[in-house]
Structures are given as C-alpha cells and as structure tokens.
Amino acid sequence: MSSPVPEHLQADCSRCAALCCTALPFAASADFAVDKPAGTPCRNLREDFRCGIHGQLRESGYPGCTVYDCFGAGQQVVQVTFGGRDWRRSPGEAAQMFAVFPVMRTLHELLRYLTEARALPQAAPLHDELDDALAATDRLTRLDPAGLAELDVEAHRREVSELLLRVSERARPQGRNHRGADLVGADLRGARLRGANLRGALLVGADLREADLTGADLIGADLRGADLAAADLTGALFLTQAQLAAARGDARTTLSEPLVHPSHWPQRAESARRRRRKR
C-alpha cells in the first residue's frame, strides 16, 4: 500500500471519549492484566478520557491496548453520530453510544480496506464497483444512532469482502491458499508465501522469520506474537499497522509505505549488536 491512510480513517483519541477503553470488554490474559466487562470504564482511565498508564501499557500487562485500532470510528461516533456529546456528560446516551461504536468500527475498517483497494493499479477494472462500495459504506457511517443500531453490519461486511477478494485475486501473483488456516505456532521460517492468500489465517506465534510474504493478502490475519524478523512484506495487501504492532519484527523486516516499524521492535543498532554477539 503506497497511498497514505486518509485522516478520517486514523484514530484521533483527542476527539473521542475513550470508547475503546469503555465500550469494549476484555478478559484477563496475555493481552490484558484484568477482566473488564463491556460498558465499564477501564480502571486506568482518567477523568479527562486519557489513559493513566499509556506510556507503560506493555510493561503493565496491557499489550492488547497497544495493538487496537478503531480506524477513526471513535471520533466519528462522538463528533458526528452524537454531535460532540460524550457518555459522561450525557449518561442517558451512554448505552446507545457503546452499542454503535463496534458497528462504526466495522464500517471504518471496511472503508480503510476499500480505500487501499481503490489505489491498486490492478483494481482499475473494478473502480466503479469500488466507488459504489465506498459511497455506500460512507453513507452508513452517517446514520443516526438508531439506524446504526439496526444495521446488519455483518451482511454489509460480507458483501464488501467479496469485492475485496476479487481485487486481491487481480493484484496478487499466484500463491498458496491458506485462507482461514490454523497456523498457530507454525514453523514457516523462510517460507515462500509470495502472493499467498492468508485472509483470516491464525498466525499467532508463528515463526515467519525470513519468509517471503511479498504481495500476500493478510486481511484479518491474526499476527499476535508472530516473528517477522527479516521477513519481506513488500506490497502485502490489507496489512494494517495494528497487525504489525501485535507481531514481532526487527530492522530487517521490509514494509511498504505508509506502514512503519512499530516502536517496540528492535532498532537497527540493537539488531546489529545482537548479530555481533552471536558471532
């Protein structure tokens, strides 16, 4: 993906009301230190809607927070759907706000993928259909709270997913089909996965060091804990920054703009020192 992600599809926490920290549930696990039910503010949330441990989330047992991306849905719900109101100042609307947030998040995620697909040269024959899907999805994001609550968002996701798959098939070189495959902990070091269909694949903890993933379709792939050191992800389709943040990599991992190496990955100097120690 060479085109930048549009601003409205990037999370802007300053214009939200910590919806991801309140509306969503999480369970005590490797991703979260404690249980939290849906609709309950995280115990680390401050009165100003900021996180009290934002700079130490990983060290404090909340790495799951560092890899979440609402794709700009949070500010859309607060600023547009609810006209700038938040759940603290308008507690009577809190339940409705929390209910529509996941719906909006799905719509914004689809917009992000459709925007990427539209920018691919190979998608030119599908431009009219992509434009229609973009316009239809954008219209749905502008529904009022009641309309969003009633929306069958999964039906819309399935429809868009089929279109994105057609784009993927045009854009990818012929590769292996691992769609939805259970590859948890798999030894894929050095694997030739160029142009592979890895849509929705479970790659949790997989060893993908030095793997060739150029042009692979990674939409929805679970990369938590996957080792991408020295892997080549050039031109990978529908890969998000959040997926990279959930994985491990190093300075040798190759990405296409606008994706960047997450800050917690070893930097170039650290990688070099480690190589010298091995010698």
Q: List, for residues 163-172, the tens digit of each pLDDT value.
A: 999 999 999 9
pTM comes to 0.92
| Burial of 30: CB neighbours in 10 Å, binned 0-12, 13-18, 19+ | exposed
Name the 3-class secondary structure at 42: coil
Give the per-residue pLDDT at 131.
98
Q: Which two tokens mark 60?
A: 């404090």
pLDDT band at 267 (very low <50, low <70, confident <90, very high): confident
Q: In the numeric block, which tokens belong to residue 150?
A: 């009633």
**Is the CB of residue 77 less than 8 Å from the CB of residue 93?**
no
Which tens digits make up the pLDDT trace of 185-194? 999 999 999 9
Q: Is the pLDDT of residue 2 over 60?
A: no
Contact between 104 and 73 (Cβ < 8 Å): yes
Q: Which residues contact 278 (CB under 8 A, 6 or more apart)?
A: none
Using alpha carbons only, give the angle 245, 249, 252 rounded to the nearest 5 degrees: 135
Preceding amide of 6 cis, omega within 30: no
pLDDT tens-digit profile of 114-168? Answer: 999 999 999 999 999 999 999 999 999 999 999 999 999 999 999 999 999 999 9
Q: Identify the CA nearest to 178 among candidates 206, 199, 209, 205.
A: 199
> Per-residue pLDDT for 277 more than 80?
no
Question: Rounded to the nearest 5 degrees, what angle is found at the Cα of 182, between the Cα atoms of 170 and 203?
Answer: 75
**Percent of the chain residues past pLDDT 90, beyond the cut:** 92
Q: Measured between alpha carbons, how far is residue 195 from residues 153, 210, 279 in Å? A: 29, 15, 34
Residues near 163 by Cβ (< 8 Å), separated by ≥ 6?
Answer: 114, 117, 126, 129, 130, 133
Q: Is the pLDDT score of 5 beyond 70? A: yes
Residue 62 neighbours by CB under 8 Å, 6+ apart? 31, 32, 33, 44, 53
- Taking the CA atoms of 214, 219, 54 and 248 in sequence, report the sign of the dihedral they define: negative
